[in-house]
């Protein structure tokens, strides 16, 4: 069983490189919910993909082109979007930025 992490302090979690050249750090997690911060350089891409988890994303910094199920929107600092389970989605950083994503249930693959 994975121990839950229910509090986070600034700078406490280490960044991990992602396969697509960006970076992420798991901020909090329980079995039911996970919060993850993603960092992107300008032009960075979160490739199109899908997963069974519901995802809610907050643009903490920057401006992103977001594609969800074939629909495209530009979302900037302070904006947000939600990805229902199993829909194909991805992002492109139009400038350097950060996304804070919540997943339910948690992403076990991010804890491995």
pLDDT value for 3: 84
Measure the CA–CA gap between 90 and 57, rounded to whole angstroms.
Answer: 12
Residue 6 falls within a domain, yes or no? no
Q: Where are the beta strands (DSSP E) in 30-108?
A: 34-40, 45-49, 54-61, 63-68, 71-76, 80-83, 89-93, 97-104
pLDDT at 2 over 80: no
pLDDT value for 1: 59
How many contiguous H segments (helices) and E segments (strands) does the chain have?
0, 10
In the chain, % of residues over pLDDT 90: 93
The domain tally of the chain equals: 1
Residue 28 falls within a domain, yes or no? yes
Mean pLDDT of the chain: 96
Residue 33 falls within a domain, yes or no? yes
Q: Which domain, by its residues, includes 49?
A: 22-110
pTM of structure: 0.93
């Amino acid at each position: 069983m994975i121990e839950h992490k229910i509090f986070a302090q600034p700078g406490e979690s280490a960044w991990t490189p992602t396969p697509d050249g960006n970076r992420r750090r798991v901020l909090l997690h329980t079995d039911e919910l996970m919060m993850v911060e993603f960092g992107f350089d300008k032009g960075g891409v979160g490739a199109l993909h899908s997963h069974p988890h519901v995802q809610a994303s907050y643009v903490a910094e920057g401006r992103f082109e977001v594609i969800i199920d074939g629909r495209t929107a530009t979302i900037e600092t302070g904006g947000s979007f939600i990805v229902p389970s199993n829909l194909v989605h991805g992002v492109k950083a139009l400038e350097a930025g950060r996304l804070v994503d919540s997943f339910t249930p948690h992403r076990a693959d991010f804890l491995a």
